[in-house]
Structure 1
Amino acid sequence: MSVDPQELRRVGGHFATGVTVVTAEHGGVTCGLTVNAFMTVSLEPPLVLVSIGTASRSLPCVSSAERFGISVLSEDQEAVARVFAGKDDHKLARVPARRGLTGVPLVEGAIAWLECRTEQRFGAGDHVLFLARVEGLGARTGRPLLFFRGRYVRLAT
């Protein structure tokens, strides 16, 4: 049975996700991209997974870096999500950012952040999956930005 990729995207869009920005630095070059395919895999050891499309301009940078950051965006950061969803090579220069304890770039104002070291990387169709160990993390109060049916949305109160 054949599955139409656009239909799979439409059906998968019915699953609301949080919105993250994955950032890295390699060879003095910083990169980042908006990612909604993120999950906690294990609490002990602390492992997370992110999925990055093979067509992403940021994939070579994230793949080459030993570590990367994950910033969970707040509901007020839709503009940040759009910057990192674009094709600009200097995205981190366009948003407030800071360095984490491990040196990875992180988006300022995110409601949560993780600093990760890549443990495994493997191809999965048109994406590359990164299994990573969490080396640092934090959170603040706030509400997350969500992605649902192809749009950014907010939690209802």
Structure 2
Amino acid sequence: MIDQKDFRRVLGAFTTGVTIVTTRAGDKIHGLTANAFCSVSLSPPLVLVCVNKDAQSHDLIVQGKCFAVNILNVDQQHIAERFAQEALSGAARFDTLETRAAVTGAPVLGESLGWVDCKLTASHDGGDHTIFVGEVVALSDGDAKVSPLLYFRGEYRILENSDFPAR
């Protein structure tokens, strides 16, 4: 049996970007901080996000059949922290933020590194999470000169010397 603390510690060594996954179901909007996001296919354009089944956004993604993934930049750590708080929910998480509705109606955040707007095409059981697959119906990129917000070993991180690509 794998110890959950060991599992989290080892997988925490994998650096990820930080995203805000948003959704709309009727007049309800919600969002959560997530780092379990990746591209799946170019043709058709598909991405996936993994969402805890207990998260408030989970059922709204199922009901609304859509989600948007907002890729955060280094100056948006406060947004990641806000959307990770259980005390704030629904529209309160979006207060004071610049947002607009994407094609699906899911909110997208201003000043993010980029976003993809998706219609839900499949859901798969993933233990305590659901793996949501979405077809990208709209997307946009932000300022290419701004660094991404990263997550490594349980902490937010930034790139050093980000002007220099890996060799």
What's the TM-score bracket when you normalise by the shorter of the two chains?
over 0.9
In 2, Cα distance between equivalents of 1:134 and 1:62: 15
Distance 1:94 1:32 in 2: 14
What per-residue deviation string (whole Å, max 9, x for no partner) do you get for residues 111-134 of structure 1?
110000100012111100001100
- How far is 1:66 from its partner? 1.8
Aligned twin of 1:156? 160
Taking only the aligned residue pairs, the percentage that are identical comes to 36
- The residue aligned with 2:165 is none
Which residue in the other structure is 1:45 paired with? 44
Q: CA deviation at 1:27?
A: 2.2
Please report the TM-score for the alignment, with normalisation by the length of structure 2.
Answer: 0.90
Query: Unpaired runs of 5+ in structure 2?
Result: 162-167
More strand by share: 1
Q: Distance in 2 between matches of 1:151 and 1:101?
A: 33
- Which one of the candidate residues 123, 147, 152 is aligned to 2:151? 147
How far is 1:94 from its partner? 4.3
1:34 pairs with 2:20? no
1:2-151 alignment runs, 5 A limit: 2-87=1-86, 88-89=88-89, 90-140=92-142, 141=144, 142-151=146-155
Give the secondary-structure state (helix, strand or coil) at the position aligned to 1:101: coil
Query: Is residue 29–residue 106 contact of structure 2 (8 Å, CA) maintained in 1?
Result: no
Q: Quick one: which amino acid aligns to residue 8 of structure 2? A: R
CA positional deviation for 1:68: 1.1
The CA deviation at 1:138 is 1.2
User: What is the rounded CA distance, in whole Å, between the counterparts of 2:29 and 2:120 in structure 1?
Assistant: 17
Q: Which amino acid aligns with 1:100?
A: A
CA contact (8 A) 2:47 2:133 kept: yes
Deviation digits for residues 38-79 of structure 1 (CA, Å, limit 9, x no counterpart): 000111110101000112122111221121111000000000
* Aligned residues: CA RMSD: 1.1
What's the CA shift for 1:96? 2.2
- Write out the 4+ residue segments of structure 1 that deviate beyond 4 Å after TM superposition: none
The alpha carbon displacement at 1:98 in A equals 1.5
What is the alpha-carbon distance in structure 2 between the residues aligned to residue 121 and residue 63 of structure 1? 8
TM-score of the pair, normalised by structure 1: 0.95
**CA distance in 2 between partners of 1:112 and 1:121 (Å):** 24
